[in-house]
Structure 1
Amino acid sequence: MKALIQRVLQVSVWVEGRQISRTGEGLLVFLGVERGDDRKDADYLIDKILNLRIFEDDEGKMNLSLLDIKGEVMVVSQFTLAADCRRGRRPSFTEAEEPERAKELYLYFAEGVGQKASRLGTGEFGALMIIEVTHHGPVTFMLDSRR
């Protein structure tokens, strides 16, 4: 399971011309579910994301976690994180989990994050979304539950 996390000031998600979700200061998490992922992978990433010290303290050092700042989280499913671009010019998505199982793990992940974050927003699984983001930094990390 892969998560691309970005420190943000605000995120809005739109589907078919209507805003479906909005969050303030905290993190935007793009989640990619790969074949073979399970709840252990989700639990690992939930703990890592909530506790990773990537927010600045009073001295300007990255020393505070999302929980420390009482930050908000937007979780968006992104199967393209499972792409293999090593061969040819077209990405291969054979490592992406089947949609039904991926949605199940995505919802489990979002629920786990939402239990501890001050506020949770989500995208719509499988939908074409417009995502408006105000980055803070930029600060971006790629996490992989298998590494």
Structure 2
Amino acid sequence: MRAVVQKVLEADIEVVNNVDLVHVNHIDRGLVALLGIGKDDNHTDIAYIADKLAYMRIFADDDGKMNHSVQDIDGEILLISQFTLFGDMRHGRRPSFTQAADPQHARMLYHELTDHLLDMGLKVKTGHFQTHMQVSLNNNGPVTILLDSKKQF
């Protein structure tokens, strides 16, 4: 499981409904997590990513040091499925997605991660799974962190 996590002041998701853009979700201060789910991912990967999202200390304390987590600041998480994080560009010019989970498996793990974060007491909003979305965000820092559950050991 891979995540690109950005610390944001705010973020929005919209989807195209016929011709019009329809607002889906909005968060204020918190994290945007673009989530790629691999074909071999399971509950261990969910636990790893959830722990990192909940407790990574990337928000400033009173001294300006990164000492606070999204929980500490009462922030929100916008969780967005993005299979392209498993795009492999080692060969050719078109990415291969053979390591990405099939949609049914990915959807199940995406919802399980969302539920896990909610059970931890976090404020979580999501995009629409397997839908073309337009994401806008105001990156704060900028701070961008890469997580990969397969690189935890």
Q: CA deviation at 1:115?
A: 2.8
CA contact (8 A) 1:11 1:22 kept: yes
Query: 1:113 matched to which residue of 2?
Result: 117
Query: 2:58 matched to which residue of 1?
Result: 54
CA contact (8 A) 2:38 2:100 kept: yes
Q: CA deviation at 1:135?
A: 0.9
CA deviation profile, 1:48-71 (whole Å, cap 9, x unmatched): 111011111111111111111111
Query: 1:37 matched to which residue of 2?
Result: 41
Query: 1:98 matched to which residue of 2?
Result: 102
Q: Which amino acid in 1 is paired with 2:26?
A: R
CA deviation profile, 1:10-67 (whole Å, cap 9, x unmatched): 1111112111111110000000000110011011110111101111111111111111
TM-score (norm 1): 0.96
Q: Which amino acid in 2 is paired with 1:49?
A: L
Q: CA deviation at 1:116?
A: 3.2
Matched position secondary structure for 1:68: coil
Task: Classify 1:13/1:117 alpha carbon distance in 2 versus 1 (closer, same or farther; 3 Å).
Answer: farther
Q: CA deviation at 1:118?
A: 4.5
What 5-or-longer segments of structure 1 have no aligned partner? Answer: none
Say yes or no: does 1:134 pair with 2:138.
Answer: yes
Task: Classify 1:67/1:51 alpha carbon distance in 2 versus 1 (closer, same or farther; 3 Å).
Answer: same
Query: 1:84 matched to which residue of 2?
Result: 88
Say yes or no: does 1:13 pair with 2:17.
Answer: no
TM-score (norm 2): 0.93
CA contact (8 A) 2:54 2:122 kept: no
Matched position secondary structure for 2:124: strand
Give the CA RMSD over aligned residues: 1.0
Query: 1:23 matched to which residue of 2?
Result: 27
| Count of aligned pairs | 147
Matched position secondary structure for 1:41: helix
Distance 2:140 2:71 in 1: 17
What 5-or-longer segments of structure 2 have no aligned partner? Answer: none
Query: Following TM superposition, where does structure 1 have runs of at least 4 consecutive aligned residues deviating by more than 2 angstroms?
Result: 114-119
CA deviation profile, 1:68-90 (whole Å, cap 9, x unmatched): 11110000000000111111111
